[in-house]
């Protein structure tokens, strides 16, 4: 159990408050209710910095590079996939050959692998930040 600004929290992961000091006092924000598409500027800047750190780490990954290279090769060879994946790109039904269907299937497999690698990298970055925070808290 943890106490934060007059709030008792049973699980810091399930229920967390971010306190912002303002001229008229502190505001508590329930992290479960944060709209990720309408973040405060300071929080948006933090997320942008984390995205950059993840991209840098992924650039040095051989397996991630292979995934993205193959993904780009498929997109270059099969322009219909770009139309399918872009918003509003398909205006009418499409008929695909067996080869095109196979390419589309491979593309979506690569998309899944790419998203999975990005999620794992984000998780690992979060873990490293937690360990740094715990070390700093031990010094207090």
Q: Are 71 and 114 in contact (CB under 8 A)?
A: yes
Q: How far apart are the first and last CA of the chain?
A: 19
96 with 70, same domain? yes
Within 10 Å of residue 53's Cβ, how many Cβ atoms? 15
pLDDT at position 30, please?
66
pLDDT at position 119, please?
94
18 with 48, same domain? no
pLDDT tens, position by position, 115-138: 999 999 999 998 988 888 888 888
8 with 30, same domain? yes
10 with 78, same domain? no
20 with 76, same domain? no
29 with 42, same domain? no
pLDDT at 15 over 60: no
pLDDT tens, position by position, 51-97: 899 999 999 999 999 999 999 999 999 988 988 887 767 778 889 99
40 with 8, same domain? no
23 with 72, same domain? no
The pTM of the full predicted model, rounded to 2 decimals, is 0.66
pLDDT at position 28, please?
58
Its sign, for the CA torsion 110, 68, 81, 48, is positive
- Separation of alpha carbons 50 and 56, rounded Å: 10
21 with 85, same domain? no
18 with 28, same domain? yes
- Separation of alpha carbons 125 and 11, rounded Å: 21
132 with 81, same domain? yes
Q: Which structure tokens are listed for 52? A: 């950059």
27 with 57, same domain? no
Single out the residue of 94, 66, 68 nearest to residue 79, CA to CA. 94
What angle do helix axes 62-77 and 41-59 make, rounded to 10 degrees?
A: 90
Structural domain boundaries, residue 29? 1-34
If one counts the domains in the chain, the total is: 2
């Amino acid at each position: 159990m943890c106490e934060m600004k007059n709030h008792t929290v049973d699980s810091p992961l399930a229920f967390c408050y971010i306190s912002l000091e303002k001229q008229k006092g502190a505001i508590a924000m329930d992290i479960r209710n944060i709209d990720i598409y309408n973040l405060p500027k300071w929080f948006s800047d933090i997320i942008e910095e984390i995205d950059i750190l993840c991209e840098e780490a992924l650039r040095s990954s051989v397996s991630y590079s292979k995934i993205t290279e193959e993904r780009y090769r498929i997109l270059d060879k099969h322009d219909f996939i770009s139309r399918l994946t872009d918003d509003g790109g398909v205006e009418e039904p499409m008929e695909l050959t067996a080869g095109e269907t196979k390419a589309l299937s491979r593309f979506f497999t690569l998309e899944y692998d790419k998203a999975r690698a990005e999620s794992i990298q984000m998780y690992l970055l979060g873990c490293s930040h937690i360990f740094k925070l715990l070390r700093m808290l031990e010094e207090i």
